[in-house]
């Protein structure tokens, strides 16, 4: 049996026996060969396949939460200020098996969304903008354009390839993941403290990065120009393939408070504790050259290098060699700074170059950029795009997130058998097993750190707008007949 495929041929019935499960009534209802079950041992599910995805959409994907989020308080309730069609104006697009990209889909409610997605079984779901009209009917209107969109950010580990030694490309490991944690901390702080946003969702992208959704009403209504301004405010990293030497340029003799705060509170501590030692920046020969190239005084760089070559100061048993060498460098640069003005921010620039978040800015600048929905499964890794609590991002482990296969194994363990009655249509919901799997925790996190507050705020905003309108109407002088 091919790994990952759900095909329960008569000979493939082997299941792991779990005595607790047999007594669960739900399990008994589902399993049509109940008496024989004790003898069969199921194979563990592995990897990724469209068949497994179908199970995922039918049993686990949290449609109700997604729709609660994207409705932003606009529900069917007969409230005069509710915009019934709000959800319907949102673009949802899907990538189907065989690289078929279906854009401009829209849904009335969670049921409709679940039905369509279960029927089409996409590899990936993307969320687009809210348009002025239902995007599915865009051709019927003379004007069609995006009117609202969360402010989104995309941080991708491949953009750090020149400063990490552990992996390249799509790979990540515990040694480079701290770079993402740094990005979350820095950006989250700016969004909350500088820009005043509150409803911020961070999501693991399933492979090598993180996504951020800023969902405050003010953020959703930003113009493209304002989005561009925010990305420029955040942008520091200036390196490119043809300008490798100078990666970061911090101009002016004093840093903007936003930068100095990021440096002091996040970048420097993380650089010293994690990046420097884990990436072996000052022991690995090529890394030494890369780092020293950022010192705008070649003689000085040579001097430092020579010192290290000759042994220099040996790190004590408790001290990391990289860290000891960094202290050397710090001392020399600070000493020389008095003589050479060009050394100005050079230490800070090095730290920024290695640690400051590198955002894919194009994603943030435009309203109509698509971004993968949370709780999707990454086809290459099988990992679920689970939310990350920014307040606890240090403890997020990308290697430990639930995968498509691990979740379905959990369901299977609980339910005993994942076969479904053959006559049932693919879009029919199967019993929701979310609570029996480790995805439960992720959905709970989504609700408690993000959705519940967002929804409450949206509702009270709608109420407030309603009261204001009522007052305005009441205070308007009535014209006598």
Partner 1 sequence: MNFSNVPNKRKSGAASPLHGDYTASGAQLTMYQVPPIEDVALEEFEQFALDRLRVLKGVEEARSRGRKPDELESVVNDLWRKHMRMGDAAETTRKDIISHYVLRLAYCRTEDLRKWLLSQESALFRYRFRMESPDAQRRFLTESGLPYNPVANAELEAHKDKLLQVARSVAGAGATAESVYYKVPFEDVPELVAGRKVLLSKGWAYVPRDQLAALVVGHFRTRLSKSLTLTRSQWNAKIEAQEKDRLTPVVEALSSRYLGPDYSTPSTKAGVRVADVDALAAASFPLCMQHLLHKVRDDHHLKHGGRQQLGLFLKGIGLTLEDALTFWRTEFAQKFGVDKFDKEYAYNVRHNYGKEGKRTDYTPYSCIKIISSTPGVGDHHGCPYRHFSQDNLSAALGRMRLNRKTIDDVMTKVKNHHYQLACAATFEGVHGAPCESGINHPNQYFDESRKRAASREGDDPTAQGTPPVAERQPAAERASPVTPVH
Positions marked active-site: 91, 154, 156
Helix (H) / strand (E) element for 147: namely strand 146-148
Rounded least distance, CB 246 to partner 1, Å: 6
Residue 235 interacting with partner 1 (CB under 8 A): yes
**One residue of 14, 76, 244, 464 binding partner 1 per CB under 8 A:** 244
Distance, CA of 24 to CA of 22 (rounded, Å): 6
> In this complex, which beta carbon is closest to partner 1, that of residue 163 or of residue 373?
163
> In this complex, which beta carbon is closest to partner 1, that of residue 41 or of residue 229?
229
**One residue of 237, 354, 356, 396 binding partner 1 per CB under 8 A:** 237
**One residue of 11, 140, 254, 339 binding partner 1 per CB under 8 A:** 254
**One residue of 225, 397, 423, 472 binding partner 1 per CB under 8 A:** 225
Please list every residue from 256 through 285 that binds partner 1, using CB under 8 A: 256-260
Rounded least distance, CB 308 to partner 1, Å: 24
Contacts of 183 (CB under 8 A, 6+ apart): 155, 210, 357, 358, 359
Residue 286 interacting with partner 1 (CB under 8 A): no
Residue 149 interacting with partner 1 (CB under 8 A): no
Closest CA to 364 of 478, 214, 476, 464: 214
Residue 193 interacting with partner 1 (CB under 8 A): yes
Closest CA to 178 of 427, 333, 395, 477: 395
> In this complex, which beta carbon is closest to partner 1, that of residue 259 or of residue 373?
259
Helix (H) / strand (E) element for 187: namely helix 177-189
- Residue 357 has a CB neighbour count (10 Å cut-off) of 26
**What number of helices (H) and strands (E) belong to the chain?**
19, 9
Residue 297 interacting with partner 1 (CB under 8 A): no
**One residue of 10, 35, 80, 252 binding partner 1 per CB under 8 A:** 252
Distance, CA of 65 to CA of 444 (rounded, Å): 10
Distance, CA of 253 to CA of 234 (rounded, Å): 19
Q: Which stretch binds partner 1 (CB under 8 A): 104-112, 188-196, 334-342, 471-479?
A: 188-196
Please list every residue from 410 through 429 that binds partner 1, using CB under 8 A: none
Classified as helix, coil or strand, 153 is: strand
Q: Which stretch binds partner 1 (CB under 8 A): 50-58, 205-213, 243-251, 368-376?
A: 243-251
> In this complex, which beta carbon is closest to partner 1, that of residue 9 or of residue 252?
252
**One residue of 11, 240, 395, 475 binding partner 1 per CB under 8 A:** 240
- The DSSP line for 28-62 is HHH-TTGGGGGG-BPPPP-S--HHHHHHHHHHT--
Distance, CA of 279 to CA of 368 (rounded, Å): 37
101 - beta bridge partners? Answer: 95
Rounded least distance, CB 57 to partner 1, Å: 25
Asked if residues 329 and 138 have their Cβ atoms less than 8 Å apart, the reply is no
> In this complex, which beta carbon is closest to partner 1, that of residue 218 or of residue 470?
218
Please list every residue from 343 through 382 that binds partner 1, using CB under 8 A: 358, 360-361
Residue 161 interacting with partner 1 (CB under 8 A): yes
Count, residues near partner 1 per rule CB under 8 A: 44
> In this complex, which beta carbon is closest to partner 1, that of residue 245 or of residue 471?
245
Rounded least distance, CB 302 to partner 1, Å: 17
Residue 137 interacting with partner 1 (CB under 8 A): no
Residue 197 interacting with partner 1 (CB under 8 A): yes
- Alpha carbon distances (Å) from 433 to 131, 348, 374, 407, 452: 34, 50, 18, 10, 22
> In this complex, which beta carbon is closest to partner 1, that of residue 344 or of residue 431?
344
Distance, CA of 186 to CA of 265 (rounded, Å): 9
Q: How far apart are the first and last CA of the chain?
A: 83
Rounded least distance, CB 460 to partner 1, Å: 18
- For 99, counting Cβ atoms within 10 Å of its Cβ (0-12 exposed, 13-18 middle, 19+ buried), the class is exposed
Residues across the chain: 481
Asked if residues 130 and 146 have their Cβ atoms less than 8 Å apart, the reply is yes
> In this complex, which beta carbon is closest to partner 1, that of residue 233 or of residue 335?
233
Contacts of 226 (CB under 8 A, 6+ apart): none
Q: Which stretch binds partner 1 (CB under 8 A): 237-245, 275-283, 368-376, 463-471?
A: 237-245
The contact set with partner 1 (CB under 8 A) reads 99, 143, 158-162, 193-197, 218, 222-223, 225-226, 228-230, 232-233, 235, 237, 239-246, 252-260, 358, 360-361
């Amino acid at each position: 049996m091919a790994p990952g495929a759900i095909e329960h041929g008569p000979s493939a019935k082997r299941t792991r026996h779990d005595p607790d499960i047999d007594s669960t009534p739900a399990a008994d209802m589902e399993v049509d060969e109940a008496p024989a079950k004790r003898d069969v041992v199921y194979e563990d599910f592995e990897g990724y396949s469209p068949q497994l995805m179908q199970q995922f959409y039918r049993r686990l994907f949290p449609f109700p939460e997604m729709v609660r989020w994207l409705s932003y308080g606009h529900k069917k309730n007969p409230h005069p200020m509710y915009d019934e069609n709000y959800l319907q104006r949102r673009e949802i697009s899907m990538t189907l098996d065989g690289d078929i990209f279906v854009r401009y889909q829209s849904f009335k409610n969670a049921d409709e969304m679940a039905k369509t997605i279960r029927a089409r079984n996409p590899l990936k779901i993307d969320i687009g903008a809210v348009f002025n009209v239902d995007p599915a009917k865009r051709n019927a209107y003379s004007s069609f354009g995006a009117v609202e969109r969360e402010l989104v950010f995309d941080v991708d580990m491949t953009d750090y390839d020149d400063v990490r030694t552990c992996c390249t490309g799509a790979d990540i490991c515990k040694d480079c993941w701290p770079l993402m944690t740094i990005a979350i901390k820095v950006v989250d702080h700016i969004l909350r403290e500088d820009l005043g946003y509150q409803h911020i969702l961070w999501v693991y992208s399933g492979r090598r990065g993180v996504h951020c959704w800023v969902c405050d009403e003010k953020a959703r209504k930003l113009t493209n120009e304002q989005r561009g301004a925010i990305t420029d405010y955040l942008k520091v990293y200036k390196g490119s393939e043809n300008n490798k030497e100078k990666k970061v340029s911090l101009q002016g003799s004093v840093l903007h408070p936003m930068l100095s705060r990021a440096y002091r509170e996040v970048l420097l501590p993380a650089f010293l504790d994690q990046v420097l030692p884990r990436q072996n920046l000052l022991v690995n020969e090529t890394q030494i050259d890369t780092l020293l190239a950022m010192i705008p005084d070649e003689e000085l760089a040579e001097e430092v290098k020579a010192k290290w070559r000759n042994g220099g100061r040996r790190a004590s048993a408790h001290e990391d060699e990289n860290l000891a060498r960094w202290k050397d460098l710090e001392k020399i640069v600070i000493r020389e700074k008095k003589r050479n003005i060009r050394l100005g921010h050079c230490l800070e620039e090095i730290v920024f170059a290695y640690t400051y978040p590198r955002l894919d800015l194009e994603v943030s600048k435009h309203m109509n950029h698509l971004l993968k929905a949370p709780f999707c499964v990454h086809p290459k890794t099988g990992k679920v795009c689970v939310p990350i609590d920014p307040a606890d991002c240090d403890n997020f482990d990308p290697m430990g997130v639930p995968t498509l296969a691990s979740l379905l194994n959990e369901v299977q363990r609980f339910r005993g058998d994942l076969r479904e009655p053959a006559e049932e249509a693919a879009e029919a919901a199967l019993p929701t097993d979310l609570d029996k799997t480790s995805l439960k925790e992720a959905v709970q996190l989504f609700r408690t750190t993000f959705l519940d507050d967002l929804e409450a705020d949206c509702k009270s905003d709608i109420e407030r707008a309603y009261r204001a309108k009522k007052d305005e109407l009441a205070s308007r002088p009535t014209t006598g007949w």
